Structure 1
């Protein structure tokens, strides 16, 4: 996990000057906020990947739980934010989308942190120990079930008469399809692990590795890469038109 995470942070750093300049000159508060949060979460994720030995080290399990809680909460914040953007479609302007989306994300992630905090600090459950059988799997079943349900809903919306309410860019559809498959696999793994099956522990650890290694690059490629790579004004106008339906921009072009 540490290699792809480190490479992604290095890539962000190599593009930082150009990206910061483009974000500063853009009209999108949403892209600017998303890019800033992506940087913060990427650093936390790299630290999480680098400190894997703390998971089983005596005396380090409390700190491991804390950094795991912050890292997963940051990644969940990004997930919920992007889901909210997609579901808003073209019914909100960029500033409205930013306010509404971050409010929803804050409420969801805040509730998630409180619940996990009760498990970790209240009951002393090693919630982020994915190598043992225990009561932590009940919460992870609920967690993955909710995410699978939401991604599944959007996945089938794209294949129904409701697809016109969602942004039509193929990259968004691919993102939803990938996340639906990953969370469905994680749900199956959690259910097996909750019943004490070793296969479930192995499968869930595989999904955790894939998630921490690939989710942030996937998010960047899907939602931000085109914005930073297109230099030509015409291409930016094309990109703006594609992203407008998702509520990513504050105002229309004059």
Structure 2
């Protein structure tokens, strides 16, 4: 979990920079820098998504090191393939994947986003309904998967209609903003906050035991 926390910090910094330089999207001469930043930011967030699913779905069938290694290998391969595909579209064919312009829509761009969101919606939907009987044991995972399923379903609907309808274009843009704004805090609140509270409690117990062994509480007993 510490390794995942480090990845979360790195992606958070990328996402923070992405939010602060939004003006680059519409600034002449900044398109290349904006596309590169958006490419790595979205790939980093996708890595967090896949890593979390791959790790949690393994359950107790592997040790910590085995689960972590398998998780990072699977996530790395999938994200590398996704990154390569987007880079080919972006720099090879000149498709503006990360520049939204409703006046000059690109059908090939929206087709790629439809496929991308369809795959993610199908994955979250299958996990949500196929593992329904296990959710009582893992309520946090259930809430996370349910949230991501709804968000990706909305993005899918927006991408399907964004090529020709202003409402679809607005919906897709709004869900992207929500994704970049709330996804990382969602991860921390849902999974990492309790983890670090448990770590702090463990450290407090260790300190208490050491102080007790050293005789700090003997005066109180007397």
TM-score where L is the length of structure 1: 0.76
- 1:234 is displaced (CA, Å) by 11
Q: Which residue of 2 aligns with 1:212?
A: 180
**Which of structures 1 and 2 has the larger relative contact order (alpha carbons within 8 angstroms, sep 6+)?**
1
Give 2:146's aligned residue. 177
Query: Is 1:226 matched up with 2:198?
Result: no
Report the CA distance between 1:171 and its aligned residue. Answer: 1.1
Cα offset for 1:233?
A: 3.9
Select 2:53's aligned residue among 75, 83, 87.
83
> Conserved in 2, the CA contact under 8 Å of 1:189 and 1:204?
yes
Unaligned ranges ≥5, structure 1: 1-30, 237-254
> Is the counterpart of residue 193 in structure 1 residue 166 in structure 2?
no
* Aligned Cα root-mean-square deviation (Å): 1.8
Distance 1:233 1:41 in 2: 28
| Bigger Rg, structure 1 or 2 | 2
Aligned length: 201
The alpha carbon displacement at 1:62 in A equals: 0.9
| TM-score with structure 2 setting the length | 0.86
Q: CA deviation at 1:235?
A: 11
**Aligned counterpart, 2:114:** 141
Q: Aligned equivalents of 2:138 and 2:53: distance in 1?
A: 14
- With over 3 angstroms needed to count, the CA separation of the structure-2 counterparts of 1:144 and 1:234, relative to structure 1, is same
User: In the alignment, does 2:29 pair up with 1:59?
Assistant: yes
Map 1:77-116 → 2, pairs under 5 A: 77-116=47-86
**Superposition deviation, residue 113 in structure 1:** 0.4
